[in-house]
Amino acid sequence: MKASGRADRLPPYLFAELERKVREKKAAGVDVISLGIGDPDLPTPTPVVDALSRAAADPATHQYPSNRGRPELREAFARFYGRRFGVTLDPEREILPALGAKECVFNLNLAFLDAEDVALAADPGYPVYTGGPLLAGGEPVLIPLRPDLGFAPDLDAVSAADARRARLMFLNYPNNPTGAVLPDGLFERAIAFAREHDVLVVHDASYTETTFDGYVAPSFLETPGATEVGVEVFSLSKGWNMTGWRTAALVGNAEAVEAYWRLKTNIDSGMFEAVQEAAVAALEAGPPREMPAIYERRRDLVCDALHQIGVGVAPPKGTIYVWAPVPDGHTSTSYCELVLEESGVVISPGSAYGPNGEGFFRISLTVPDERLREAVERLRESLSA
């Protein structure tokens, strides 16, 4: 049996060896604590769960949903954008529900890339910004995120040849994996670049609701001209503790939203209507208010411990991750393997997020405080010089 050549284009799966070692440790009876994946540990808010229960009991929600989504859901997204960001959206033309940001980012590649077309993807970055273009037959061109520019991509460094072939540009602030918040003027520069080179800017707003120290993250669509050249992917996964629910939306440029819809009608059959009703309840209530303080507390716990074992790290102002340099003499993977070996704690190698992530590791803050404290204690004991 021969699988398609498409999958062969994907880069090797960097977590494979780490996962094998985790399995070995668990089999040997080690109590492994995973700070690898970013999956909120706290439950979805009760009113959202209640709305789902009520809606699921109504047979009217049991049939194929429309891929446009219920008008009530699109209107709820529009009201949320108005309240939260001061952005006015037309629920008929500028909003479409998505089955999570991952689906949406991936399918935008299918909707906008032909063979040989380029998607500009941040390095380090969320892996779907590179896997998506490859699977769509296009080419991801990595733009390094520069720490000296506040983890902005240096758009001036994009070659003329790549700029000519570029159709998509992925941005993401607050940023996974670096935890950086929006660098000054970046959205304006991206809009100018998009106008000059006829590129669709895709801003992944997965972490706008998890920010700290009083920082409030903006929407890309607040920037003048953004809707002419771009879209935003807004997800309820992280901000509302709803990763399993697959609830997001593509919002912004009406032509892009329409192209994505045409593609989607051939791929999936929309979001379960009961989940749509629950998403309306979530948007109306807003994200659970206690979450940023919980992550901020965990962030401080982790950053203090890292300082104590000699790892210099700037506390991030957003996301649910801490991004830190590996000590001298290690690669990302050798350090993560050492940490697992010595302390039974799983952390992610920075190189899994792109070549520019080499030399870093990522810690996720999505485990209960007691487990995080235990993990941090083990790191301190086993790794102190």
Ligand X SMILES: Cc1ncc(COP(=O)(O)O)c(C=O)c1O
Residues that bind ligand X (CB under 6 A): 38, 100-102, 126, 172, 176, 204, 206, 235, 237, 243, 248
* Dihedral angle sign, alpha carbons of residues 89, 48, 240, 97: negative
Least separation in angstroms between residue 101's CB and ligand X is: 3
* 236: number of Cβ within 10 Å: 27
Using the 8-state DSSP alphabet, how is residue 151 labeled?
S
Q: Give the DSSP per-residue string, 299-336.
A: HHHHHHHHHHTT---PPPSBSSEEEEEPPTT--HHHHH
Q: Which residue has the tokens 């208010």?
A: 289
Least separation in angstroms between residue 286's CB and ligand X is: 17
Whole-angstrom CA distances from 357 to 79, 182, 350, 354 are 38, 19, 4, 5
Residues contacting 23, CB < 8 A, separation 6+: none
Pick from 189, 186, 138: nearest CA to 165? 138
Nearer to ligand X among residue 288 and residue 344 (C-beta): 288
* DSSP H or E run through 33: strand 33-34
Q: Which residue has the tokens 């709305």?
A: 51
Nearer to ligand X among residue 158 and residue 205 (C-beta): 205
User: Distance between CA atoms of 23 and 12, rounded to whole angstroms?
Assistant: 19
Least separation in angstroms between residue 171's CB and ligand X is: 10
Nearer to ligand X among residue 100 and residue 218 (C-beta): 100
Using the 8-state DSSP alphabet, how is residue 60 labeled?
G
Helices (H) and strands (E) in the chain, counts: 13, 13
Nearer to ligand X among residue 67 and residue 348 (C-beta): 348
Residue 16 Cα to chain centre, angstroms: 21
- 292: which 2 tokens? 């940023």
Least separation in angstroms between residue 235's CB and ligand X is: 3
Nearer to ligand X among residue 126 and residue 323 (C-beta): 126
Least separation in angstroms between residue 27's CB and ligand X is: 28
Q: Which amino acid is at 265?
A: T
| Three-state secondary structure call for residue 200 | strand
What is the maximal distance between C-alpha atoms in the chain? Answer: 63
Residue nearest to ligand X (CB): 100
Nearer to ligand X among residue 206 and residue 348 (C-beta): 206
Least separation in angstroms between residue 102's CB and ligand X is: 3
Nearer to ligand X among residue 55 and residue 250 (C-beta): 250
Least separation in angstroms between residue 31's CB and ligand X is: 25
Nearer to ligand X among residue 85 and residue 240 (C-beta): 240
Least separation in angstroms between residue 104's CB and ligand X is: 8
Nearer to ligand X among residue 249 and residue 281 (C-beta): 249
Could you tell me whether strands 321-325 and 360-364 are parallel, antiparallel, or unpaired per DSSP bridges? antiparallel
Least separation in angstroms between residue 176's CB and ligand X is: 4
